[in-house]
Structure 1
């Protein structure tokens, strides 16, 4: 792929956001298309996003991947963002760049975003695939793990820096991120998922432990929800075996969505 082919397009929003995206058009496969929703501090160049784009292109299927604001090549600063902002980015990208019901594939935080989208507009969702989905992680994963010094730091400065296994730079967690996260929880109220839903989870995931997948599985209500626990897979879920499972799951979910008339 040339540099020109690899450069993203940009969606300019009415309020000045500039969302970087790559879109593969439908080339004969027909609906539904596929939308990849990335994780916290990830971007659309990751292994899973690129793999899904290649597989969709090979099958003539529409595909969309994009960067939330403050991520990748989109506008804004990461530290200024929160779940509600990134949900709005996803909502705007899907509204402007896709047609009809879509298969939402959400990785980690993207799984939370996918669930929020599904809750507010289930008619736009043909199927949903969560990869180590992390709903409510700002409360259950971050805030719940703060020690007393971090709580005091947050109260005093409005921010806490946490170490990252994926970057030399620490994560800066802001008061706005934590408070906004409380406004977007999905595990504290009914969560209907009236479409094929597939939850993929690695047994060796230390960032989103397997019990979190079970909590989501038990909490969500729907006619066709399945949880697959993959022994030895970690949070990235991007080795050859895991990508093969993801590909097979996507095709099975699309077939189930069509059978269900979605």
Structure 2
């Protein structure tokens, strides 16, 4: 494990050297870099002799910081800091769930760092269109007065959603303004995903602008997208993006 310091926190990551453009895996909300998809893709990248980076945002996994202090902006800046410290040249970003939103932010605001993009059940703007849109009047009042609210999770303990997460997220939305993706983009979405809807994937496909953007819908796949066939599809799409880059 390697580390860097940012904003008072030690950020943990694993970087494997190899051929470029490298691959950067960006995990989801409350996930970590030891997940099935990150490890499987790292193994494949090593077999290909391809550089690979996986990381934990602050408040996630092995990185320091409180999860409840975080925001989309904080975690995007964490990812940028690690990418700049541990990679050389434009990278292929692979973003899962919230990591898909973060990858889109990096692609939009720092296109010089991005060679291509792969998303897995991308969750752009989920703080606004998912949590805030679903809160009733009492929940919104509690969020404003108490500063946080507990939301049931399919993955264990309830998620603590903070007022800051919602408010700061409004400055990071990507589906309300032009989103130019001028490089190969491959998106994957499962039809049995209860966290991110197929409609979200179709909205992103319709909204983004670029010469080479494709969406694959997988019947029956859920949000984890970690079955053997799912992992193979991820590898296939990463290879497809790599094959379309200038030599």
| TM-score of the superposed pair, with normalisation by structure 1 | 0.93
Please list, as runs of the form range in 1=range in 2, the aligned pairs for 1:95-244 lying within 5 A after superposition: 95-167=84-156, 169-244=157-232
Please list, as runs of the form range in 1=range in 2, the aligned pairs for 1:64-75 lying within 5 A after superposition: 64-75=53-64
More strand by share: 2
The 2-side partners of 1:76 and 1:155 are apart by 23
Q: What is the SS of the residue equivalent to 1:235?
A: coil
2:246 maps to 1:254: no
1:9 pairs with one of 2, 5, 8: 2
* Equivalent pairs, count: 247
| TM-score of the superposed pair, with normalisation by structure 2 | 0.98
Gaps of 5+ in 2: none
Q: What is the SS of the residue equivalent to 2:95?
A: strand
Residue 123 of structure 1: CA displacement? 1.8
Residue 17 of structure 1: CA displacement? 1.9
2:14 pairs with one of 19, 22, 25: 22
The equivalent residue for 2:39 is: 50
The 1-side partners of 2:26 and 2:202 are apart by 21
> What CA deviation, in whole Å up to 9, does each residue of 1:33-64 have, x standing for no partner?
00000000000000000001000011110000
1:32 pairs with one of 6, 11, 21: 21
